[in-house]
Chains A and B, each alone.
Chain A
Amino acid sequence: MKRSRRSNSPLPPRPLRLLGGTGVAAAIAGLVVLVLWSIAAAASAEPAAARTPVDVRHLLAMTTIQAGLTTVLSLLVGTALAWALNRLRFPGRDLAVGLFASAIVTPGIVVAFGLLAVWGRSGWVNAAWQALFGAPLDVPIFGLGGILAAHVLLDGAFAARVLLGRLDAIPMARLKTGQSLALTPWTRFAVLDWPAIRGSLPGLAAIIFLLAFTSFPIVLLLGGGPANQTLEVAIYSAVRLDFDLNAAVLLALVQIGACSLVVLAAAGFGHVPASLGPVRQQRWSDRGWAQLAQWVVLGLGVLGFALPLAAILVDGFGTGLGALLQRPTFWRSAAASLVIASLSAALTLLLALALGLGRAASANPVFRTGIGVPSYAYLATPAVVLALGIFLFVRNSGISPDAAAPVVVVIANALLALPFAVATLGPPLDAIALSRGRVIRSLALGGWRQFSDVEWPLVGRDAGLVVALAFCFSLGDLGVIALFGTQDFATLPLLMVRSLGAYRTNDAAAIAAIMLSLTILAFVAIPRLFGAIAHARA
C-alpha cells in the first residue's frame, strides 16, 4: 500500500533531505522558545511593575494596515519593475539590478535619510522646484506616506530583484513558442510571466509584511509623531523603559502570533509549479505601448529607487571619506564585518538549502508548512526580545559575552537572511522536484547526483543571489551586536551608529556610502560568479 502510493508520487524518496529540513526547522523553532523562556524566567525573578496597559488592539490594527499597504504596494511596484527589466536591454542594466537589490539590505535609517535627501524640505527635488518655480514644493514625506515610501523603496526593489530572477529563468522553448504565436504583450504576461512569478509572490508577501510589521526606526523617523507606531515600539518600551519583562514576553507572543498567521496564510497558497530553465541571454522585446510603458516604469524606478541611494553615495564620498580611511578602528570594523558577513552568508546558504531541499522532497502540505514557517522566526521575533533573550541565555550558560558575541552575531545574521534565502531558493527547487522528479526517479539518481547534476546547475545563480543577500544583510545589520557591548569587537554599522552618536555625521555618511558600495558590488558580482560556476559544471 505504502509502496504503491510512493510510486505514484513524482518525487524520489529522500529521507536524508527530509531529516535535514526537519532538523533545521526544529532548531530554529527551539531557539525562539529558548529566547522567550530565558526572558520569562528572568521576569519571574522581578517584581511585577505597575504600568499603564498598552492598547494592543489599536496597535495591532494600525500596524496591520501599514504593513498590508506596504506589501501590496511593494509587490505591485516590484512586479512592474521586474517586467520592465526583463524586457529591456541597456548599458548599465546589471548595475541597475544590483542597485535595486541593495536597498533592502542597507540599514533602514540610511535609506530613510537618502529618501529625505531627495524628497525632504531641503532635498534635491524641492531645491529644483524652488529654482524653477520660486515656491517650495511641500512633499508630505512625514506621516503614513513617508513610512510607505521608505518601505516600498526597501522592499519593492527587493521584490523586483527576486521576480526578475524568475522571469529570466523562463525556458527558452516557451519563449520561442510564445514568439512564434505572436503573443500580445498582455497575453505574454498572463500566459508566460504570471505562472513564472506566481509561486514566489506568497513568500515575498510574507517577508515584506513581516518587515513592515516589525519596522521600528523608520516608522518613528518618518511617522511624524506617536500616531504612527508599531507593536515593536511598545515591546521596546516595555523592555527598556518599564522593565516589565512579562509584558514584553506577552507582547512578543502577540507579535509572533500575528506574524505566524500571515506566514501560514502565505504558505496556504501552496506551491505553484513554475517552469525553469537556465538563464541565457534571451532577446524578445515587446513593441509599441508595452515598450513605452516599460521605459516609463524603468525611468520612474531609477528616479524613485536610485536617487535616494545616489544621495547616500554623494553625501558619503564627499568630505568625510579621507579622515575615515585613516582610522584604524575603521579597518578593524571593516575586517570584522567582512569575516562575519562571509561566515553568515555561508551558513545561510547551508540552512536555506537544507530547508529548501527538505521541503521540495515532500508533497505533504502539512510537513511542507511545518518546515517552511520557522524560517520566518527571526523576522517575527521583536529585535529587542531576541537580543535580550540571547544575552540572558549566554549569561546563564556561564559563557563570557565577549567570546559569545561573534558566534551569536554570525548565527543571528544568518537567521535574518534565511527567510529571504528560502523565498529565493524554495520555488525553483520545488519546480525542479515537480518537473524533473520522474526523470530523476527513472534514472535512479542518488541524492547527491540529483543535487550536483540537476538542481545546482539550475539554482546556482539563485544561490549566488542568496549568498549576496545574506552577505549584505550581515554587512548592514546592527542586530544583536549592540547588546553585547564589547569595545574590541565592532562592525561597520555599529561604528556608523557610534559616529552618529558622537556628532560625527561625516564619518557616519562615509561608512554608509562604503557599506552601500560593497553591497552593490556584492549584488553584481556574487550571482554572476555563482552562475558561472554552476554553468561550468552543467
Chain B
Amino acid sequence: MVTFARFALAALLGLAALPAGAEEVPILRIYAYDSFASEWGPGPALKAGFEKQCTCVVEFTTTEDAISTLRKVQLEGQASRADIVLGLDTAIAGEARATGLFAPHGLDLSGLALPAPWTDPDFVPFDYGYFAYVYNKEKLPNPPRSFEDLIALPASFKIVIQDPRSSTPGLGNVLWVRAAYGDRAPEIWRGLKPHILTVTRGWSEAYGLFLDGEADMVLSYTTSPVYHAVAEGDHRFAFAPFEEGHLAQVEVAGILKGSQKPELARQFLAYLTSVDAQKVIPTTNWMYPVIDLGPDLPPEFGEQPKPQKLLSIPESDITAMSRTWIDEALQALQ
C-alpha cells in the first residue's frame, strides 16, 4: 500500500525528484525562519549580496519559526540537504548543539560587538536584541520600571504576552523572569496573572492586540519602537527599561556537519558578519547589528539607550531546565 502510494504520488508529480549533485552552479541551501527570508526580511538582500561574490546560488528553505528550523534538520538527520541553519537563538542553541548535527565554524569572531564577548565554536551570531515590554508614550507617560512595579499597578493595567510553547519571545519571557528572579519566578508569574490580558500563540497576534489598543504593553523587543520610528516616522513607541535588567536574544547561524560545501558555507557565515551584510539587518530584521556600524546604523536605533543592566543564563541550565520553567510559569498562570 505504501509503495503503491509512493509510486502514485511520484507519478502524479511527474517524477519531480531530481538527482542530487547535478548542479552546474553550486547551491548553498539555508534553512531559516519565514520572516527572515520573506521579501521584507534580510533574506533577499543577503542572497543578492553573497551571490555577487561567490558564483553560487543561495536558496532559502523556510519554516514557521526558528525552532521549527532545528526540528526540520533533526527530522532529516544526516540526509539533510541543508548547508546552514540560520536563526537559532540563545534559548535553543544548547539543544541544537547537543544534536551533534553542527560543525565548528572556524572563524575568528573576536572583532564582534555583542553584549558579551563571543566564544562559541559552533555558532556565528548575526544580530541581537533584548526582550522588553513595549508601550505607547502618549497613552502611558509613566511606564512600570520593573516586573514588581508592574505587579503593583491596578488590575486594569493589561499586558499581552506569548505562549512559551509556541513562540520565541514567549519562551524568552520565561527565561527573562527566571534570570531576574531565580526561584521567585513563580511568585512573579502569579503577580503578573491579573495583568495578563491573554497569552497568544505567536508574536504577531500579541503585537496586533497592542497596536489595536487592547493592552497597555506587549512583550516584544527593545528594537520594536525603532521599526515604527524608521519605517513609519512614528515616534510614539518606546520600550520600558526594567531595573532588574534585560535578557539578550542573540540570533545565530551554524554549518551542518552533513554539508557537502562546508567551505562555501563558511564563506557565507563570514559574509554574514561583514559590514555589507550587517548594514542590511537592522532595518529588515529590526535587531541590533553584531558589529559597530558607526554612521551606517540609522540614528533611530540610538533614540533610546540600550538596557544598561544585562542578565544571562548559562546555556546548560537553559537546555536542562527550560521545560520545567515553562511548566512553572504556565502553572502559576492557571
CB-nearest residue of chain A to B285: A502
Interface residue? A265 (CB, 8 A): no
The residue on B at minimum CB distance from A239 is B71
Report which residue of B14, B41, B75 has the largest number of chain A beta carbons within 10 angstroms of its beta carbon.
Answer: B75
Question: What distance in Å separates the Cβ of A242 from its nearest Cβ neighbour in chain B?
Answer: 7
Q: Closest Cβ of chain A: how far from B200's Cβ, in Å?
A: 5
Contact with A along B183-208 (1 / 0, CB 8 A): 00000000001001111111111011
Which of these, B63, B67, B68, B334, contacts A226 with CB under 8 Å?
Answer: B334
Q: Mark A217-260, 1 if CB is under 8 A from B, else 0.
A: 10011111111000001001101111100000000000000000
Query: Are A241 and B34 also in contact (CB < 8 A) when A30-B5, A226-B334 are?
Result: no
B35, B61, B201, B330: which contacts A486 (Cβ < 8 A)?
A: B61
- Asked whether, in the complex, the Cβ of B333 is within 8 Å of the Cβ of A226, the reply is yes
Interface members, chain B 202-261 (any A CB < 8 Å): 202-205, 207-209, 211-214, 224, 227-228, 231
Q: Mark B7-31, 1 if CB is under 8 A from A, else 0.
A: 0011011101110000000000000
Taking a contact as CB atoms closer than 8 A, the residue among B12, B198, B323 that contacts A220 in the complex is: B198
- Asked if A281 CB lies within 8 Å of chain B CBs, one says no
Residue of A nearest to B43 (CB): A487
- Does A280 touch B at the CB level, under 8 Å? no
Q: Are A397 and B10 in contact (CB under 8 A)?
A: yes
Q: A142 contacts B35, CB within 8 Å?
A: no
Among A216, A220, A482, point to the contact of B64 (Cβ < 8 A).
A482
Cα A196 to Cα B16 with chains together (Å): 50
B214 touches A120 (CB 8 A): yes
Given A407-B12, A498-B35, the answer on whether A483 and B165 have CB atoms closer than 8 Å is no
Q: Does B327 touch A at the CB level, under 8 Å? A: yes
Stretch from A86-94, A162-170, A355-363, A398-406 forming part of the interface with B: A398-406
List CB contacts (< 8 Å) of B113-152 with chain A: none
Mark B64-76 against chain A: 1 for CB-CB distance below 8 A, else 0: 1001100100111
CA distance A31 to B310 in the complex (A): 51
From A5-13, A109-117, A430-438, A453-461, give the one contacting chain B. A109-117
CB atoms of B75 and A392 under 8 A apart: yes
Tell me which of A34, A113, A395, A399 contacts B10 (CB under 8 A): A399
CB < 8 Å neighbour of A403 from B6, B16, B214 = B16
| Alpha-carbon distance between A236 and B201 when the two chains are bound, in angstroms | 11
Give the shortest distance, in Å, between A521 (CB) and chain B (any CB).
26
Report the stretch among A44-52, A373-381, A529-537 that lies at the interface: A44-52
Known interface pairs A30-B1, A220-B163, A407-B13. Does A122 touch B214 (Cβ–Cβ under 8 Å)?
A: yes
Q: Closest residue of chain A to B323, judged by CB?
A: A51
- Distance between Cα atoms of A499 and B37 in the complex (Å): 12
Asked if A503 is at the interface (CB within 8 A of a chain B CB), the reply is yes
Say which residue of B38, B60, B326 sits within 8 Å of A498 (CB atoms): B38
Number of residues of chain A lying within 8 A (CB) of chain B: 65
A394 interface contact, C-beta 8 A = yes
Measured CA separation A499–B39 after assembly (Å): 9
The reply to whether B200 and A221 contact each other, CB–CB distance below 8 Å, is: yes
Pair B13/A403 contact, Cβ less than 8 Å:
yes
- For the complex, what is the distance from the CA of A479 to the CA of B17, rounded to whole Å? 24
Of the residues B1, B9, B207, B286, contact of A397 by C-beta under 8 Å: B9
Please give, as numbers and ranges, the residues of chain B lying within 8 Å of A485 by CB-CB distance: 34, 61-63
Contact with A along B282-322 (1 / 0, CB 8 A): 00001000000000000000000000000000000000000
Contact call B5/A505, Cβ cutoff below 8 A: no
Give A115 Cβ to nearest chain B Cβ, in Å: 11
B227's nearest neighbour on chain A, judged by CB, is A503
A235 to chain B, nearest CB (A): 11
- Give the distance in Å from the alpha carbon of A255 to the alpha carbon of B196 in the complex: 29
Q: A223 to B197: give the CA distance in the assembly, Å.
A: 9
Contact A224 B201 (CB under 8 A): no
Closest chain-B Cβ to A535's Cβ sits at a distance in Å of: 36
Cβ A502 vs Cβ B35 within 8 A: yes
Cβ–Cβ < 8 Å partners of B198 in chain A: 142, 220-225
Q: How far is the CB of B222 from chain A (nearest CB, A)?
A: 15
Contact A394 B9 (CB under 8 A): yes
Distance in Å from the Cβ of A287 to the closest Cβ of chain B? 44
- Chain B residues within 8 Å of A486, by CB: 61-62
A119 to chain B, nearest CB (A): 10
Minimum distance in angstroms from B313 CB to a CB of chain A: 17
Q: Give the residues in chain A near B207, CB-CB below 8 Å.
A: 503
Complex Cα distance, B77 from A396, in Å, reads 12
B40 interface hit (Cβ, 8 Å)? yes
- Residue contact A226 to B214, C-beta cutoff 8 Å: no
Known: A42-B75, A487-B37. A34 touches B214 (CB 8 A): no
CA distance A1 to B163 in the complex (A): 64
Check if A400 sits within 8 Å of B17, measured CB to CB: yes
Q: A121-B213, A237-B165, A243-B71 are in contact. Are A500 and B61 (CB under 8 A)?
A: no
With an 8 A cutoff between CB atoms, is A288 at the interface? Answer: no
Further 17 A-B residue pairs, CB within 8 A, beyond A142-B198, A239-B71, A403-B13: A46-B74, A52-B327, A121-B214, A217-B200, A221-B205, A222-B198, A224-B196, A226-B199, A240-B166, A241-B67, A392-B75, A395-B76, A399-B17, A487-B37, A498-B34, A498-B35, A502-B38
Cβ-closest 10 pairs across A and B = A122-B213, A403-B16, A485-B62, A500-B204, A237-B165, A502-B40, A501-B35, A220-B201, A397-B6, A226-B330
The contact sample of 7 A-B pairs, CB cut-off 8 A, is A222-B198, A226-B330, A239-B71, A394-B9, A399-B10, A501-B34, A503-B207
Binding site for A on B (CB under 8 A): 1-2, 5-6, 9-10, 12-14, 16-18, 34-35, 37-41, 43, 60-64, 67-68, 71, 74-77, 158, 163, 165-166, 193, 196-205, 207-209, 211-214, 224, 227-228, 231, 286, 323-324, 326-327, 330, 333-334
